[in-house]
Structure 1
């Protein structure tokens, strides 16, 4: 493949754009999420196949880093605080359970196959978060106002935040070793940093909007600057930049409120920067190692899948019954929390890239490959189950007026 490694830079760029256009759309036709197409593009363009892109190139590295931050920023920006306030206590209950159940199951699986305690916690964080991949289906069905949906959307804030906070504690432990003083220092910084960004940054952004206006250029620059500063401060105090980016997104959503923000930054991010992040993830996938993981570490892959599906189902059933939701609503909560894409890949890639003084990674190649399998399987099954659950909820809503009117047992064709 030496020919492809010496292509002119514009030709390489054009080929990359073509694949990021074609492959994600092909994945959608197969009912898989678009990021799977980007990862496949990275596999093809990376050093293990065509070698079109240089994984160590400064441009690719910068675009991938920016894409990772923007991915988490817009994940935070999607949090609707108005909806969240309506059912925050219920969302907190479900958020805690849908984090804790797969987290505990994953720790058990990781410990059983020999991972360290620190790595086990990170594996738990990888599985505990979720991506609301099925939300467009719920929107199409007109179920965004359903309380079970609102609670699930609110719970996403808890799962993503708890996952990246676990990562923030585990990374310095892996790099520097376990030091009680260091761990307490990290926790102390988190206690100060998180509310400072969530509330202080909202106040600052409101002042910036009043000063510089809400034009397309001003709002886009304010979003970029605040995201970059939050991420950099997070790194200065020993945490990962994705934590700052996610919290900045949540904070800016509060600051913008009902104001119409410019979507050009999000469009550019979705078209270029975020795809490059997933493409860079594809560089790490070696088909030989990938299929070797499936064959020689099949119990690990199976255990990860069981921990995810079992944990998310148990959380939805327990929280749904506690909150008084029916069977179809509980199924919808379960289905929406299955897909693992955004935060899952971000946490996994950061953990894989974290190397201690002895050259040992926080998670190994086998777990990274298992995570890729997890992304594909959870996304496909999550979308299928969301469609089914949403249809059941709509059917239940349609039958409710008939039952209240006494027509539930009326024979077909009765007037």
Structure 2
């Protein structure tokens, strides 16, 4: 465990110095320690380090870090910003989901006959590939915007809002995939969807008012952080357990609990910071574990598999980037901002890895497909920062058309109302 944490920290810092997100380094650390490199150079050393009894411990700790992280994603979701930019965000996010998902489903047709696991139906496999092609990593995107000073700009606000809307859609589609993969028959899937809707209503109209009352205690007798933190952690775990029992992944419960959590309450904010420390410690274990599961050795010297790797990467990047940029242009945004927005929406990172890990754990995709999609994720994430710099150099000296404010968005009000 100390070796894993040390390697993750060192690799993450090296990637930050190169202008890349730390998650890329953490995954590379897992690849270096796993069967792709260490397992080939010294199989005995790998078996000695990663013994059979370590796998369940590592998986449990990494899943706890993942659940805490998903709670933070839900908690940091700016619902006010979603409402302000909803028209433009709906157009861009829907285009950025629809075209890549369609491209992924079409690509899944030849992939299914070559790479699908036995017993996995084509609808589940194709829908999962479509979801994997259409995801944007909200947290990595936020970090890229902050590092480049774009988080407070109209372009940054629109990118974050579009990514948040797109991720909500992707999570809903993934919930459908997990329901289809975990149960047989349409009746059970409908029951799972119905229970998920009921759980959302309970969280929104039952749990949230209760949390508001707890957070807004009498000012003369404020609730201590030591009392809020167990309540917070217990709520995250119980919500995750509930969605797991319903038939969808535990991360959905943690995300929803974070979304309904009241903001700007001092005891809640202090408790969230403690939980952020837990996630910061355990989450790298998840990404190292993701790297350990990558089997680049399965690609080997077979040129066909490497061609598939390049094809998947090219289709995912072109579809996502092109669809998001075209939608931004339709909304009246100038070419520099539209292309930059497309590059930002093409950043997959953490969210994509979470989705791929879920598909791999459910048996929807094989180890080979998992490895192919992780390579696509790493490349599309690593390209984001250089692409923004390249676009800025190409359009240097030109006065860009401003990003329209929310009230001047050209998308029809029907789309905003639907959202």
TM-score interval (norm. to shorter): 0.7 to 0.9
Deviations 1:211-269 (A, max 9, x none): 595654444434322221221111111111111122222222xx114757232321331
Structure 2 equivalent of residue 229 of structure 1:
238
Cα separation, 2, equivalents of 1:203 and 1:25: 41
8 A Cα contact 2:66 2:283, kept in partner:
yes
Secondary structure, aligned partner of 2:216:
helix
Structure 2 equivalent of residue 108 of structure 1:
106
Shift of 1:98: 1.2
What does residue range 122-133 of structure 1 map to in structure 2 within 5 Å? 122-132=128-138, 133=140
Residue 189 of structure 1 pairs with residue 186 of structure 2: no
Structure 1: runs of 5+ lacking an equivalent: 1-12, 355-360, 401-415
Structure 1 equivalent of residue 375 of structure 2:
373
The number of aligned residues is: 377
8 A Cα contact 1:39 1:281, kept in partner:
yes
Structure 1 equivalent of residue 282 of structure 2:
273
Deviations 1:276-312 (A, max 9, x none): 11122122123422545x7332343223212321221
Shift of 1:369: 0.5
Shift of 1:203: 2.2
8 A Cα contact 1:121 1:170, kept in partner:
yes
- Alignment match of 1:91 (pick from 85, 89, 92): 89
Deviations 1:303-338 (A, max 9, x none): 321232122123223321222111111122111111
Q: Which is further off, 191-200 or 343-352?
A: 191-200
Cα separation, 2, equivalents of 1:391 and 1:79: 32
Normalised by the length of structure 1, the TM-score is 0.81
Secondary structure, aligned partner of 2:240:
helix
8 A Cα contact 2:216 2:265, kept in partner:
no
Residue 314 of structure 1 pairs with residue 311 of structure 2: no
Normalised by the length of structure 2, the TM-score is 0.81
Aligned-CA RMSD value = 2.8
Deviations 1:158-204 (A, max 9, x none): 22222222222222323333x12122222222333334435544323
8 A Cα contact 1:194 1:247, kept in partner:
yes
Residue 76 of structure 1 pairs with residue 74 of structure 2: yes
Deviations 1:76-107 (A, max 9, x none): 23321222221122222222221111111111
Structure 2 equivalent of residue 410 of structure 1:
none
CA 1:164–1:83 in 2, change beyond 3 Å: closer, same or farther?
closer
Secondary structure, aligned partner of 1:208:
helix
Residue 26 of structure 1 pairs with residue 26 of structure 2: no
Cα separation, 2, equivalents of 1:277 and 1:55: 17
Residue 207 of structure 1 pairs with residue 213 of structure 2: yes
Cα separation, 1, equivalents of 2:340 and 2:63: 34
Deviations 1:27-47 (A, max 9, x none): 223443322222233344457
Structure 2 equivalent of residue 9 of structure 1:
none
